[in-house]
Amino acid sequence: MIAERLYRTPPGVALGELDLIPDPGARSFVLQMRAGRFHGFVVRKGEALKGYVDRCPHQGLPLAQQHDAYLAADGEVIQCSWHGAVFAVEDGACLGGPCVGSALTPWPVAVRDGVIVTE
């Protein structure tokens, strides 16, 4: 049976220590919940985090074909590995590629006492 895909998570779920994510860098997270499975990723720059649902607005695919490879080579933008769509880290807006005008779906996360948690 295929688990239902979820696009949001409840608040207060601890994802792990902040240092799980390179600085700067990104990491995928998969949460298996009773209602289904959530796929997201978090981008880190220093203490600042931005989380997004791991689903490209172009064709609905997960962005990274290689584990945790969500950032472009310059580390400044998010890049989908399938057809090259580029997204702003700050708000997920598509800046270039086949889905300009769309955006990644935010996944609110924060750091509390050194631990990444969902909001």
* Choice between 13 and 82, CB closer to ligand FES: 82
Q: Exposed, middle or buried by CB within 10 Å (0-12, 13-18, 19+), for 53?
A: buried
Amino acid, res. 19: D
Contact call for residue 56 and ligand FES (CB under 6 A): yes
Show the binding pattern over residues 63-92: x = contacts ligand FES (CB under 6 A), - = does not. -----------------x-xxxx-------
CA distance 110 to 119: 7
Binding interface with ligand FES (CB under 6 A)? 56, 58-59, 61, 80, 82-85, 97-98
